Structure formats: C-alpha cells, structure tokens
Amino acid sequence: MIEHGDVTVNGHLVTTLPAWVDPEEDRIVVAGKVLPQPDRKIYVMLNKPPRTLSTAKDEPGADRRTVTELVDHPAAPRLFPVGRLDYDTVGLILLTNDGELANRLTHPRYGVPKTYRVAVKGSLDEDAIKELERGIYLAQRKAGRTEGAARTAHVEIALIARERDKTIVELTLREGRNRQVRRMLAAVGYPVKKLERVGMGPVKLKGLARGQWRELTREEIRALKRAAADQRADKKKSETGSSSGSRRSRARQKQTQPERKQPYVAPDAGTSSAQIRKRKLKNAINRATKPAPDRQTSPKPPREDAE
C-alpha cells in the first residue's frame, strides 16, 4: 500500500520502504482514512480520602464521590482503579488504563504485596500477633451467600507503636478478600480505629496530601511491572528447584542403596515354543539312551552356592 501511494504521513506522501513513523505523534492516513492513535498508558497514584468509592461510577441516585472524580487528568474518563479500598479506608490507590498490569497487581496468583498501617483499639498482644501471622478462618461469600470458611494466607506484621489505648502496626498481605484487615483484627478482639494503605508492591505512599494525586515515575512503573513478573518467576524457580532437589535426593538414595542384581534369565528366553519342545524331547532321548554313571567311581561334584 505504501509503494502504491496509499499512505501519507503528516501530509506527505510516502512511497519508499522502510518508512519509520511514531504512531503516538505522527498523523498517518491510509487510503483516505486516518489511523487512530494508540492510547497512552497512564499510571496515577491517589491518596484516597475517606467517604470515597473506589469505582469509576456510583450507583444511580446514590450521589457519592468516586476516586476518578478526584483525578483531574485529561484521560480521567478512561482510568479505572486498581483493586478497591473500603468506603472509609484511606491511602494509596492506583488508577490506570493498563488492564494487563491492573490484573497482575490484584490477582493473588501474582502475589504482589499490599501494606496497610492500622491503628487498633487496645494493646495488641503477642498471642494475637502470632495468630494473625498463622492465619484466621474467615467466612467466604459467593453470589451473596456464605459458603464455608478458609484460612487467610501468611501475614507479615511489624509493630510501629504501642500506646495506652491503641496499637499501631503495619500488615503486609498477598491476597485481598473483602474487608480482610478489619475482619481479621476483629476476629482476635481488636477492632480497627483507622486503616490506611501505604504501599502496593515497591510503590509507597509518600509526599501526597489526602485527596491529591500524581502520575507514577518511570522508575515506579518499571518496579511495579518487575514485581508482578518476578512473583511468577520466583514461583517457577522454586518449583523447578524443588523438582531438581527431589531428583538429587533420589540420586543420593540410589548411591547409598546396594546394587540390585539383574533377575536371572533362562537361556531359552526368546526361543519359540516349538524349538523348546524339540530340545526337551532330544534331551529326554539322550538321557534314556545314555548309560548310568558308576556312583562309586564318579563322585558327585560339590554344589555351588546360588548367586
């Protein structure tokens, strides 16, 4: 099509190859039709305030504030939040138009950690901390119905401060059940007073006042993509390592075990049944016609031990 003169770039006819263009900057017309420019991938960090929905649109008639309304970005209508925070939970939430990365950051299979700073009522004791780290059984709901309970995955807990009437800790999770942090702490008898997400993978909430937003830097975007990819690579590496380890273990066991001798195979193995019958008949005739040995002059040879 280029060689036939059907393509123009920024108003200039292009007829020779190769022809290099920047699809995000150049105006390309093919057979009289302008090619649409690809959407630029945008990554925004928002310090979510309380009483704000982590959705692009509220239910009709509810008239509640959403996170996209707080982002004054030219591409704001095409952005959507990565995961969710509760209506009253504050802190870090990402918005993007990159669906693939959003899926990697939220799907538990990729194991990207989310870090929360929590203030609970009372003095959180060591027994409760150990119980939270081991996992708490929480009810599971599907399609609005409760279907059993499942233990939460391992949680990393760091004690930040212990005051007279409250304790501040940081919890790092690699899964995201509905209201998980609040439900876990309530299960061990410490209701949440304040909950803030302060990190998602390598990206930390710093330098943003409540309700403010900014685009992620290139370094932050690269770090997020590496975090989402590395979790799967590490998992495959560990699985490969465990399988190779089991192979090495089997090899060591083989070396320490005594060598097993091969089972005895009769000389007639592989010979046809007709040949075997013919050989047996011949041996019987020979035994019948052969004179019996003199037992006194021909002593029986000593018996050998079977191998």
Model-wide pTM > 0.75: no
Residue span(s) of the chain under CATH 3.30.2350.10 come to: 43-215
CB 181 within 8 A of CB 192: yes
CA distance 236 to 21: 39
Backbone phi, then psi, for 274, in 5-degree steps? Answer: -65, -40
- pLDDT given at position 86: 92
CA 249/CA 183 separation, integer angstroms: 43
Question: What CATH architecture is 43-215?
Answer: 2-Layer Sandwich (3.30)
Cβ proximity of 94 and 200 under 8 Å:
yes
Q: Which of 6, 86, 125, 230 is catalytic?
A: 86
Radius of gyration of the chain (CA): 37
* Model pLDDT for residues 118-151, shown as the tens digit of each residue: 999 999 999 999 999 989 888 887 766 777 888 8
**DSSP conformation letters of the chain:** -TTTT-EEETTEE--SSS----TTTS-EEETTEEPPPPPPP-EEEEEEPSS-BSSSSPPTTT---BGGGG---TTGGG-EESS---TT-EEEEEEES-HHHHHHHH-TTT---EEEEEEEES---HHHHHHHHH--EEEEEETTEEEEEEEPPP-EEEEEEE-SSEEEEEEEES---TTHHHHHHHHTT--EEEEEEEEETTEE--S--TT-EEEPPHHHHHHHHHHHHHHHHHHHHHHHHHHHHHHHHHHHHHHHSPPPPPPP--TTTT--HHHHHHHHHHHHHHHHHSPPP-TTTSPPPPPPPP-
Predicted local confidence at residue 275, as pLDDT: 57
Q: State the pLDDT at residue 261.
A: 43
Residue written as token pair 């075990």: 257
Give 240-289 pLDDT, tens digit per residue. Answer: 555 555 566 555 555 545 444 444 334 444 445 555 555 555 666 566 65
230 is known as an active-site residue: no
- pLDDT at res. 139: 85
Which pLDDT score is estimated for 267? Answer: 46
Cβ(197)–Cβ(54) below 8 Å: no
Q: What is the pLDDT of residue 228?
A: 87
Per residue of the chain (307 residues), give pLDDT as tens. 999 999 999 999 999 999 889 887 889 999 999 998 777 899 999 999 999 999 988 888 888 999 999 999 888 778 999 999 999 999 999 999 999 999 999 988 898 999 999 999 999 999 999 999 989 888 887 766 777 888 888 899 999 999 888 999 999 998 878 889 999 999 999 999 999 999 999 999 988 999 999 999 999 999 999 998 865 455 555 555 555 555 665 555 555 454 444 443 344 444 455 555 555 556 665 666 555 555 544 444 433 433 3
